[in-house]
A and B are shown apart, each in its own frame.
Chain A
Amino acid sequence: MEIKFFDTNIWIGKLMNDKNGISITSNQLIKKMEELNIEKAIVYHISQRDVHPDFGNEVLINEISDKPKLYGILTILPFQTEEIKKNIFENLKEKKIVGFNFFPKKHNYILDKITFGNFLSQFQEKKFPVFFDILSGFSVDYKDLYSILKDFPKLICILCNLGIWNTNRFTWPLLEKFENVYLESSLLSLSEGAIEETVKKYGSDRIVFGSGFPERYFEASILQIIHSDISDNDKEKICYKNIERIISGIRYE
């Protein structure tokens, strides 16, 4: 059975300090995706994180505009400082923006109801997914997430880069309590048995495929999912159907 892939966890661009030589352009990414039968990907540009979100968001929109395989997520800052231009939120569908991310530990603010109350409520209503990068240390930790979800229990959260050690003790309580929490698969695939046991307990609807490229290898995530002990139907949901369902549910207007 040949399964197509929709990758939810990729960044593009050049790191300012690329010790391991992993930086990648959008064109190089597309070439690699074509080699491996990855049909689509959700990406952000590394300058959104490492330079400035307002600058990086524009770079991202330009990068993906002529590349049908790529969709984007915008990075947000607290609106009180007026660093994010309001017009960035116009024509999001045309710009192929399918979600948002936050790097509060890198960008120095608190991601909570005080800072973003109304805005996060709108995300909930419009069903935009929010992508949280756990492992990097630049976004949120599990304690932060538990607190955010207490205030915004319907928020669609895609938890990316879950952690190197098996993270079921952190993530399963969230899957149990919050119906819109999803796990990105790359580091679930790394942990022995984590995909299988999560599917057994919470179903395959709660996992979306991701690779963590260019920091990690596409081939690692693909090989594990393809040969995991779950049904073909579960694999299809994880590899592309779940994220397509989430994106089709976004209320752009």
Chain B
Amino acid sequence: MKASLENLAERAAAEGLLDVAYATVDSPFGQLLVAGTPRGLVKVNLPNHDAEQTLEDLAARISPRVLEAPARLDDVRRQLDRYFEGELHEFDLLLDWRLSAGFRRRALRAIDRIPYGRTRSYMQIARSAGNERAVRAAGTACGTNPIPIVVPCHRVLRSGGGLGGYGGGVPMKEALLELEGALEREG
């Protein structure tokens, strides 16, 4: 049955019928769920979020043609593995930004440019997104980031140096910054 289903996913993709492919990835923080469209990576679901709910959201917001198709996400899974091992410093992946819009998307694009091991403040992100005073909105953009880790919202901190919040929980944010050596640098 497993081979039949892998075959089905490949044929569906070849015929343009696989709108959302997903797979799970083990991480030091628990299991991630990653989802991609033909345009690119569209969603990273952190371990503390309900994966089933996320798949239902993707079905409703993008297309109900959602299939588990790990082979379609090999590249994403490999790069995440290497990132968690500290070997990969810059993701080289196509991203599908369709789950964010407006100011939030501009903020996320600014966040996507923060280099590995570096941090920015929410205010700096708000400024990059075109509205310096929209600090709270910049925080919301981080909190609703559909592609965390790859779009590194964990690199955005409070102006005073406080960690701020994180969708995956503050301990995970701290651990990611530690992995990247960002805490010593800021410390």
Tell me if chain B binds chain A. Answer: no
